[in-house]
Amino acid sequence: MGDEEKTRTARGFLRRARGALSGLRPEAADTVPPDEAAATSAMLGELGATLLASSQATSDVEETLVRLATRYDRSDLRVFVLPTVVLIDDERAQGAGTTFFPAGREALRLDQAGKIERLVQRAFDEQPPPEEIVADVRALRVAPARFGTLLSLLGYTLLTVGFGLVLNPTVTALPVYLVLGVVVGIIVLVGSRAPTLSLILPVATAFLVTLLITVLVRPIVHDDVLRLVAPSLVSFLPGLTLTIAAVELTSGQVMAGGSRLVYGVARLGLLAFGVFAGISVGGTPPAPTTQPEQLGSWAPWAGIALVSVGYYLYSAAPRRSLPWILYALLVAYSAQLLGDRLLGPELSGLVGAIIVIPAVALAGRIRSAPSTAIMLTCAYWLLVPGAMGFIGLSEAASGTSGATETILRTFGSLMAIAIGMVIGAGLSRDVSTVARGWRRARTEEGSTP
């Protein structure tokens, strides 16, 4: 076999391998109804499903779709939103009147979340043809990330180190966070490409990381195993899911909030099982005999800076959004520290949420700022106690004393954050309404002779 034939054979093998890997990806279903009368309902369903994938509460998505239907003179449409599906009932549609629009399992990247918010605003302002909006939604869902694999891996590593500095800033843990960030980042980037593997990815990753810490790292680094493991599992922690569930329950969305809460707790349970299995195989580590040396008070602030850069790279945030992501994280952390001083750690998220939502809404009015969805998504990660819940359930699984108290504090913090988010969102809406009324009255006064 000549060199040219070998090269041709190798290229053919690579093409077949890429085709086999692409075959693992589920094909997007064509959910647009064929008749033109249902074009608006198809647009609302596509927008709603994509908004759900950008981690918005069902109550907010439903309110947005109802207002948009009125804007398109289709107030007769009935909209029902669940955490994983949008139902649009259209009496004018041919055939079945109710159409289902699944949200999909994969959450949107930050750039996609920003685009869908701006697309919704464009639909409100300009009312373009529904078919055009549907095409834009589908295009942004399949758009590739603007950062490659290496930069995404660097982003995940920075996220791990940053959250480690916020959660457990010790001298000996810092190199551990760096190594685990690289290891888990590779697992996440490779495993997320295969849908079958992604189903067991959380528990398998928690098991491998815990086993690695227990067998190799724990004899050298005398620190708590769970606090070493938690930052590297940041992409699996369902803190944002649990917080949205608490918001939905607080808003009266019992079905949506209850199902999302069950999913979040189940996700924590899978991670805790992985940790328990890792400890069972590697052996129960002895309790630390000495207190690890803590870094200075600067460490959490440095961690926040690393988290902002990590989010920017790993979740492919839009260009020029890095300063605004850092702004949202600093406001969230500062407000949480203020709440800790005023009300204690369990209720610190209440103050944090009340302050951060109006602050982000105010920043979103600046022309150069990204969409508020990007800033809020990043800020919620510092508010949500997903790591606390993971540590509590893992301690319970391994029989550690005090685990129940940690779990109860976690759910207490969730409810405090949810109430703070409801209050903060309400304050933002009220201030915006008052400002619009003030401007309208002044305009009318100026036009009156």
Averaged pLDDT for residues 235-243: 74
Phi, psi of 102 (to 5 degrees): -70, 145
What SS3 class is residue 313?
Answer: helix
pLDDT tens track for 389-419: 444 444 444 445 445 555 556 666 666 666 7
**What is the per-residue pLDDT across 87-107, written as a single tens digit (0 to 9) for each?**
888 776 665 567 888 877 677
pLDDT of 449 over the 60 cut: no
Torsion of CA 39, 44, 49, 54, to 10 degrees: 130
Question: Which amino acid makes up residue 350?
Answer: L
Most confidently modeled range among 55-59, 137-141, 363-367: 137-141
- Regarding predicted confidence, which is higher, 193 or 361? 361
Whether the per-residue pLDDT at 213 is higher than 70: the answer is yes
Q: Provide the pLDDT for residue 34.
A: 47
What is the reported pTM? 0.76
**pLDDT at position 386, please?**
43
For 141-166, what is the mean pLDDT?
87
- Non-local (6+) Cβ contacts of 198 within 8 A are 191, 192
Q: Could you give the CA distance from residue 356 to residue 354 in angstroms, rounded to a whole number?
A: 6
Cα(363)–Cα(157) distance, integer angstroms: 28
Strand partners, 170: 294
**pLDDT band, very low/low/confident/very high, at 308 (cuts 50, 70, 90):** very high
Torsion (CA) 250, 252, 258, 259 in degrees, nearest 10: -120
Which of 411, 430, 419, 427 minimizes the C-alpha distance to 352?
Answer: 419
pLDDT (0 to 100) of residue 218 = 62
| Distance (Å, whole) CA 221 – CA 203 | 24
pLDDT at 398: 47
- pLDDT of 47 strictly over 70: yes
273 Cα distance to chain centroid: 22
- Residue range 147-176: average pLDDT? 87
User: Which H or E element spans position 419?
Assistant: helix 403-447
Rounded Cα–Cα distance for residues 332 and 352 (Å): 6
User: How many C-beta atoms surround the C-beta of residue 351 within 10 A?
Assistant: 22
Contact (CB, 8 A) for 116 and 49: no
- Residues 314/159, Cβ–Cβ less than 8 Å: yes
Highest mean pLDDT among 21-35, 333-347, 406-420, 433-447: 333-347
Q: Give the pLDDT confidence score for residue 306 in this predicted structure.
A: 93
Residue 201 and residue 236: Cα distance in Å, rounded?
A: 9
> Mind listing the pLDDT tens digit for each residue in 61-80?
888 898 898 888 888 888 88
More confident call, 289 vs 256: 256
Neighbours of 411 (CB within 10 A): 17
